[in-house]
Amino acid sequence: MSGDTEQDGDKMSKPVYILNGPNLNLLGTREPDIYGSDTLGDIEARLNTLAGNAKIVFRQTNHEGELVDWVQEASTQAGALIVNAGAYTHTSVALHDALRACDVPIIEVHLSNPAARESFRKRNFVAPVAKGTIAGFGAQGYELALQAALKLIT
């Protein structure tokens, strides 16, 4: 595209990282009333279709340090970062610090709406360092987040 800087070109060729935190590997197996009946694999497949020519890197971990490592990796390797940190959203200063140091736009996503649930879910260490949050729309929230991320980097 004429007028784009070399830096913009670089950003556009980088993948969107989509990082998922603890217990999200259980999606589709229980609590469908809260989290829906799609598995994480179903969501990943839909995002790959939606991404078209853009690349996505889709991962899940149950380990806080691994999530921190991946956020640090995203800072240099990704064009944008989508994160559903699961319960670490409400507990992890380490994740907050990693996201704060991350040089790419961050979009927070949640299947449920934590603000409408138990009071311990109201504390949030991710939202203050995210560009925006999509919550309460189930698996569709990931698609909305990817649309937003692609618009940010193209």
Closer residue to ligand CA2 in complex, CB, 31/97: 31
Task: Decide: is 86 part of the binding site for ligand CA2 (CB under 6 A).
Answer: yes
Using the structure block, give the residue that is written with the tokens 């998922």.
20
Distance CA 101, CA 116 (A): 29
Task: Decide: is 36 part of the binding site for ligand CA2 (CB under 6 A).
Answer: no
> Strand, coil or helix: what is 83?
strand
Taking contact as CB under 6 A, which single stretch among the options 23-31, 60-68, 94-102, 126-134 is the one that binds ligand CA2? 23-31
35 is catalytic: yes
Using CB under 6 A as the criterion, which residues of the chain lie in contact with ligand CA2 when the complex forms? 23-24, 26-27, 29-31, 35, 84, 86-87, 89, 110-112, 114, 121
